Amino acid sequence: MPPNLTKPNSGFTSKPSPLCTFVSLIFLLIIGFYTLHYPPGNPKKVLLFQQIFLSSASNSTIASYLRSLTSHPHLAGTKPSLETIHYVKTHFQNLGLETHTVPFQTLLSYPVHASVLMHFGNGTVLNLSLNEMGIPSYPSSGLIQPYHAFSPSGTVHGKVVFANHGREDDYRTLGLMGVNVNGCIVVIRKGGGLSRGAVVKIAEKKGALGVLMYAEGDVSKGSFGSGVERGTVMEGVGDPLTPGWGADEDGERLKLEDKKVLQRFPGIPSLPLPFESAQLILDSLGGPLAPQEWRDSGRSNLSHVGSGLVMVNFTYQGEKKLATIYNVVAVIRGLEEPDRYVLMGNHRDAWTYGAVDPNSGTATLLDIARRYALLMRKGWNPRRTIIFCSWDAEEFGMIGSTEWVEQNLVNLGAKAVAYLNVDCAVQGPGFFAGATPQLDNLILEVTKKVQDQDSEVVATIYEKWKTMNGNNIQRLSGVDSDFAPFLQHAGVPSVDIYYGRDFPVYHTAFDSFNWMINNADPFFWRHVAVAGVWGLLGLHLADDPVLPFDYLSYAKQLQEYKDAYSRVLDGNISLTPLAASIQEFTSAAKQANEETKKLMEQEFTNDLLALKIRALNDGLMLAERGFLDTDGIKGREWFKHLIYGPRSNYESGLEFFPGISDAMAESKNMSQKDGHAAIKHEIWRVARAIQRAAAALKGELV
């Protein structure tokens, strides 16, 4: 860490280091030279603006933003959330940015009452605590009691079974031990890679009456074992009453009892528990001994899986109601291509204080806007339009971003260059990135320009990241954050970046500013690093004459996916259509790269060259849309992307080509002939999507 910095809670230094000051002066002198010798918009001048962006970083400024954003809980749709909306909007306006709020009226879910009672054989009744221990008063703090949004109301009474992570193979293990969960309440511990909604859905299918979930936490990270993880159990994304269109206040809505609406919600109640309360239930279980791998969690004293003599009475009463949410949007108009949009987004709403999730990202976004405004005062104007997006109600199922995407689908389809998402900017150490593959090389190049402050020696993020996991860039198949509607519904190339894999206070009342400064990022240098990468990605995509997309990376990835399926598919199922389409896509990617090189070698700009660059950029921008299919993924038709999207086959390790993965799982319940036909159809659908992407990349009609 730089020696002139102190901990945030004892006061940040507001002064840059001497080296930073010297570098900034040099940059200002150089930019003055280039302003005199080169015309505005010259690529060399653009590079200097990127350097000024990096040199204007301020960890103390980001810390001040985060402190303000996390001064109170701000759950979407509640009165306290209006203060954070005003804070973000005012910040953008004070920077001189064109700013407006976009309201939507959507269905949200709040708790009214919950209780879990243990009934012992001797008549004793124990009322379990459902709130975090160590929180003095929920009402005075503004905290809402832990719950699962969109859980149905109900009271269930029965014996209890521990079902580990609630996966299909966990229930198979219970079955082999002679334990049946039908008519029981299941207790499930976090983990196993399933969403809350998927866990409840599987339990419901097995005949369970209700689900109680707990997270064990990590005692090595502090006394946060009593944290209770809130979250949604709704299936899919967006407002359930307006599937496929924006939730305008006076617009069309489905009825709450509509079949399409009801199928988004589970049929049995669920509730999160503190670890200590879950442990009391687990200690009471009888029945078979738990498998050793179910007991190696480090904290649990689990011995048996159930059921015992103790009965549990579990009540949850919730309220689903229409609430107004607000997205905040700020715009920097592009000078040369104002109709091309680079979108940078983060959600603002939180289950509690939200220091990590999501306001570490919000504070970082606000700082990027501050630095971009500084560049504008120094004469910078982006080539393309930059749009800052502060989403609401993400925690309920990406509702704010989804409604906005649905409302703007035509313009996004024609004009969106890329969407750059950050949710939890800083969870802990270690840089991680997810992206669509054409952005891989850009991410790698940008991380070579930003310093990693976690390194004991001077090193870039790229160098530290390479030693950690080999610069592995993840893919965006999950429905994890606000990139989902952009990529999986609108086909917009997307990025998601963050520091730290997991954190023990996720969705709990302990996700506070104090936890951030004592655990995740005491000096806020990881925030500065994320801002550096995020902001430089935005500058490149907004300013580079030719979009920095490399579809050869995509072609290579598609080939690897095809090879993975060839290893698991029946030999009677041909992948020839897929192989042919990938070959066609590879040829188009090579052609685009050659055209990029040729155009970038031109020394002088003229109208003809500008038109050629525009045509090339159109192909680079629109190719991702080719992977969309109007029919969508079977059973989840809103998700249109056939390469990356959610799959119903939770046990499959193949997180790509979701339609093929699902068809393989469904074929097990069909005749061989019908099963093979279903898989072949999905292979052809993917092949056609890749062909569409190739045609878009070439900019030619077939």
Cα separation, 542 vs 381, whole angstroms: 10
Bridge-partner residues for 110, per DSSP?
319
Q: What are the DSSP calls for 399-451, one per residue?
A: HHHHHHHHHTHHHHHHHEEEEEE-SSSBSSSSEEEEE-GGGHHHHHHHHTSSB
Tell me which residue of 528, 498, 479 sits closest to 641, measured CA to CA. 479
Token pair belonging to 327: 């997205």
Task: Provide DSSP, 277-305.
Answer: HHHHHHHT--SSBPPHHHHTTSS----B-
Contact at 8 Å (CB) between 583 and 556? no
Tell me the Cα Rg of the chain: 26
Report the C-alpha gap between 274 and 225 in whole angstroms.
8
CA distance 378 to 9: 33
Nearest to residue 578, comparing CAs of 598, 555, 595?
A: 555
Decide if 595 contacts 665 (C-beta within 8 A): no
Using alpha carbons only, give the angle 645, 648, 650 rounded to the nearest 5 degrees: 100
What's the CA gap between 348 and 383, in Å, rounded?
A: 28
Sign (positive or negative) of CA dihedral 261, 263, 264, 270: positive
Catalytic residue flag (residue 98): no
Number of neighbouring beta carbons within 10 Å of residue 650: 18
Q: What angle do CA 577, 495, 547 make, to 5 degrees?
A: 80
Tokens of 93: 């306006």
- 132, 229, 337, 394: which is the annotated catalytic residue? 394
For strand 148-149 and strand 210-214, is the pairing parallel, antiparallel, or unpaired? unpaired
Q: Which residues are catalytically annotated?
A: 394
